Amino acid sequence: MDLLLILTYTALCVAIFKIFKIPLNKWTVPTAVLGGIVLVGGLVFLMNYNHPHSRTAVRAFVSTPIVPNVKGIVVEIPVKPNVLVKKGDVLLRIDPVPFQAIVDQKRAILNLAKAQIKQMNEMVEQAQSAVDKAQSERDRTFQSYERFTQASAGGAVSETSLENRRQFYISAEAVLAERKANLARQKLELESQKTDVLVQLQAELDRAQFDLDSTVVKAPSDGYVTHLRVRPGMMAASLPLRPTMNFISTDKDDHFIIASFRQNATLRLKSDYDAEVLFPSIPGKVFKAKVVQTMPALGEGEMQAGGTMLRSMDMVATHRGLMPVKIRLEDDISEYHLPDGVFAEVAVYSDKMHHVAIMRKILLRMKSWQNYIYLDH
């Protein structure tokens, strides 16, 4: 681009000198040269600052490490590497035998607890029936005691008979209280069995069933597995964290461009700015894009809690980090079948000095065509 501007300016100067018959002397020639330096240099500097360019960009993607929830021997791997699968398709299976045994054991214990609850319900019903019978007996003896009391007041019943009736009533009252206490105890045991034991056993069964279901590892979304190295007979474990495979989603939100810019251009990198992307693997093509986000923090300034004090700023002085920017492609490039992770170059067009953006666009297209020319020897 610099050479193009210089040649254009040179041609313009030659034309002016010819048309207006300006003499070539020690004043006109240096003036033309200095004017060209100022003009071309000013345009280039305005372009570089207001419409920054990055040579270090990559088509990034999100990789999901597949870590099973349970530990066991891998018995089957239905998935094929680099072949698209749908969400929910089986990726691998772990030997379910030990987990099935635990589920069967927990289910048997739960069924036994449910049978005990049925028995306890019957015991509560029996206790309630006994309370009802004792209530009737207490009422009968109380009525008999009242009758004898009234008769005793008229002298028709002896004191001994009245005392016997009173003792019968007191005994029936004691039996009723005992049977009520037994009913309350039976209900308390039944409620405890339902709310504590049964809930706990159901939770244990659910956990065992979850572990059994986890022996079948499924795809979390549409995508594909790459670099598949797990084989049947290998041990899969959740701890320590050792993924069995890497899963790459085909969701568009999981694929984007990450470009690194000089920190000088920070004020010209904002969300929703137009951008263009070129890939060395697609010569002669430039694709439209948008700035999605500028990262709010840089790793060079990170400090974590620890026992070591900060000794110097050598790290910052020697590693001046670039500004990472997230870019979203607007054009569809699926027809080119680019692998994830390919390099790219990005130009961002701010809303400042937009009339010099044409220089950056021309320069980017020239660089794209240059990708046809390379030596590989």
Nearest to 183 by CA among 129, 114, 118, 116: 129
Query: What's the CATH fold of domain 66-96+216-246?
Result: OB fold (Dihydrolipoamide Acetyltransferase, E2P) (2.40.50)
Residue reference for tokens 């698209």:
84
**Residues 119, 125, 129, 132, CA torsion sign:** positive
Lowest mean pLDDT among 78-87, 94-103, 193-202, 279-288: 193-202
- The pLDDT tens digits of the residues spanning 306-343 come to 777 666 655 555 556 788 999 999 998 888 888 888 99
- The pLDDT tens digits of the residues spanning 66-116 come to 888 899 999 999 999 989 999 999 999 999 999 999 999 999 988 888 888
Yes or no: say if 364 and 53 are a contact pair by the CB < 8 Å rule: yes
Strand order from edge to edge, sheet including 223-226: 63-66, 245-249, 223-226
**Highest averaged pLDDT of the listed ranges 96-100, 116-120, 125-129, 173-177:** 96-100
Yes or no: say if 148 and 161 are a contact pair by the CB < 8 Å rule: yes
SS3 assignment, position 244: coil
Lowest mean pLDDT among 12-16, 82-86, 110-114, 349-353: 12-16
**Beta pairing partners, 344:** 57
Phi-psi region of 272 (alpha: psi -120 to 50; beta: other; left: phi over 0): left
Work out the mean pLDDT of the chain and round it to a whole number. Answer: 83
Yes or no: say if 307 and 286 are a contact pair by the CB < 8 Å rule: no
Confidence category of residue 191, pLDDT binned at 50, 70, 90: confident
Q: Which tokens go with 155? A: 């002298």
**Highest averaged pLDDT of the listed ranges 20-24, 90-94, 354-358:** 90-94
Position 174 scores a pLDDT of 85
CA distance 259 to 293: 11
Confidence category of residue 245, pLDDT binned at 50, 70, 90: confident
CA distance 180 to 204: 35
Single-letter code of the amino acid located at 75: V
Q: Which tokens go with 120? A: 């306890």
Position 25 scores a pLDDT of 72
Position 258 scores a pLDDT of 93
Largest distance between two CA atoms of the chain:
160
Q: Which tokens go with 332? A: 């569809």
What distance lies between CA 163 and its chain's CA centroid?
82
